[in-house]
Chain A
Amino acid sequence: MRSGRGDRVFAGGVTGLALIVPLTLAGITFLMVEAAWPSITKYGVGFLTSSTWDPVKEIFGAAAYLYGTLVTTAIAVVLAAPVAVGAAIFLVEYAPKRIAGTLSFLIEVLAYIPSIVYGLWGLFVLVPLFRENVEPSLQSLLGPVPIVGGLFAGAIGGRDLLVGGVILAIMIVPILVAVSREVIAAVPTAQREGMLGIGATKWEMVRGAVLPYARIGIIGAIVLGLARAFGETMAVTLVVGNSSTAITSSLFVPGYTMASAIANQFVEATGQLYFSAIVEIAVLLLIVALVVNTLARLLIRRVSAAPQGFAI
């Protein structure tokens, strides 16, 4: 192809601007690891296993934050996945097209709401509701049960890990529904017709032909939701309590997540080591986000790509 001067200038300009994107990613990774380096070398693996976080004595271990993040994320996925996947199945397989369009749109609107607004709503609606009704009922109902009871032990304050998980669940519903809907819709019609053709009921068709086909994609959707919940900050910060760094079995303790710890403490982090430790928490979030997103995208891509090959 003839390549004139204009072409070279244009391609150079566009390439320069476009390469900012991968460079930014590399820059983020490199600069953050560099900033966290003093903390990484000083505390090593202890940063992940110790739950002592003492800025005065400059002893930093993020285990409690890690624990809070894992617990709230787990609650979020356990609560949100059945609802979201159920809704996605209904929207694709059951609902008339027009109604499905409207309902999916409404669920999508949930994704437009900024995180701080979820936090506000959680703080003034969910927290009182859980403090007055939900948590006392849970405690009296499940408290005496061995093992499980430990989850619901202790004083009830309303701002705790459980509510943090619930608000996260609400926040990840839209992305779970959107991705699940996509992968379920990608199941070839022939699969469904085959199942119906041998006399299956609608649900048997979904269970036998649609879900096995979409399974990997749905897992991908859940992983994507997990990644979202993992790094979510403002909503959780407002409802999770931010006070205790002890690791206990109860979901009713006011805890921290990694993200809320950063949001709460960065202003105080004037000391070099304190600053470095906070950045290290962010590095952990970064690593998890990179790994999980890569994984989820591979899973989803596999499903959306597969059906065309041997569909009909």
Chain B
Amino acid sequence: MTAAALAPAWRVRRRRRVADTVMAVLLVVATAIAVGLLVLILGYLLVNGLPALNVAFFTERPKPFGVEGGGVGPAIVGTLIVSALAGVIAIPIGIAAAIFVTELRPGRWGGIVRFAAELIAGLPSIAVGVFVWSFLVRGLLGRYSALAGAVALAVIMVPIVARTTEEVLRLVPGSLREAALALGAPRWRVILRVVLPTARAGVATAAVLAVARAAGETAPLLLTALGNLFFSTDLLRPIAALPLQIYQYASSPYDDWHAKAWGGSLILVAVIAAVSLALRAFAPRGAR
């Protein structure tokens, strides 16, 4: 400060102006890097993924190396089955948790449920995988299975559903609840017939968003659903999933399989991005 005070005024002014400009430029560069990364990743995905796509890629099962063609059919079916089942498990729990937190016990108990959900959301997905692996795969069920995979994904989905639903429920005006209660409706009718229908669009968004997010998870499925090269709908057997298939193709030494890994990734990202963005565009405020 003393040095600055002794310097001539014009020099101080210039130094301050230069510092201001330099920092502005640096901040623009930082933003450009962050956005540039997205462009780079999506660019590579499109360039390498598009050539791999054809009808057979969607419908056929993986072929052994050296055999022409083959695709990720079982993986697509498997991902649909496992994510849907996980959704069936997770969505009611998540919505109930949100109702509990906002409508029933907003105080200490609600706080406990919310905090637990936040902590589960922060768990590494591989840790969730290890939990289900030791609990179901080695424990109760005794084998790798689609069901175990669904449970693992459900653990990941619940906090997402709960949190987003909670935000939506908070947007429902208190006056609506009061009006319904004043008409003599019991609380359960108020929640089921007034609050939830008002928040319907947002709750649906929360549910779909959670399923889309979890569908891209690999680590927990690796330890639970394991993967499968054949079409399977048996919930008690190992099942294929798109992320697992990508992992297998990517870690192989063959160029043809690498191309298929890119193709699979492109499908995965396209579906997740399309669902998330569409919801974002149409969803009400708070449900993002």
Contact = CB atoms under 8 A, between A and B. Distances in A.
Interface of A: 1-2, 4, 6-7, 9-11, 13-22, 24-25, 27-28, 31-32, 35, 82-87, 89-91, 94-95, 103, 106-107, 109-110, 112-121, 123-125, 170, 173, 177, 201-204, 206, 227, 230-234, 238, 259, 262-263, 266, 275, 278-279, 282, 285-286, 289-290, 292-294, 297
B219 A233 contact: yes
Contact of A18 (B19, B97, B243): B97
B130 A266 contact: yes
A231 B125 CA distance: 7
Contacts of B155: 24, 28
A14 B117 contact: no
B96 interface: yes
A120 B24 contact: no
A201 B96 contact: no
Contact of B34 (A9, A35, A173, A290): A173
A173 B35 CA distance: 10
A103 B243 contact: no
Contacts of B269: 112-114, 117
Contacts of A294: 119
Most buried by B among A31, A123, A282: A282
B123 A11 contact: no
B26 to A, nearest CB: 6
Nearest to A102: B35
A279 B217 CA distance: 20
Contacts, number: 257
Contacts of A234: 218-219, 222, 243, 247
Given A11-B104, A114-B272, A282-B127, A32 B134 contact: yes
B273 interface: yes
B234 interface: no
Specify the main secondary structure of chain B where it touches its partner: helix
Interface residues of B, number: 84
A279 B188 contact: no
B122 interface: yes
Given A21-B116, A21-B158, A116 B246 contact: yes
A179 to B, nearest CB: 13
Interface stretch (B62-70, B172-180, B260-268): B260-268
B250 interface: yes
Contacts of B216: 113-117
Most buried by B among A24, A117, A234: A117
Specify the main secondary structure of chain A where it touches its partner: helix
Contacts of A113: 41, 216, 269, 272
Contacts of B250: 116, 119-120, 123-124, 238
Contact of A94 (B27, B191, B276): B27
Contact of A110 (B19, B38, B265): B38
A63 B118 CA distance: 29
B92 interface: yes
B124 A233 contact: yes
5 contacts: A14-B96, A21-B159, A110-B41, A114-B268, A262-B130
The 4 A-B pairs of least Cβ separation, nearest first, read A231-B124, A86-B30, A114-B216, A17-B96
B27 A87 contact: yes
A206 B157 CA distance: 38
A11 B188 CA distance: 8
Contact of A275 (B26, B31, B138): B138
A275 B134 contact: yes
A125 B44 contact: yes
B112 interface: yes
Given A115-B218, A177-B34, A203 B130 contact: no
B19 A201 contact: yes
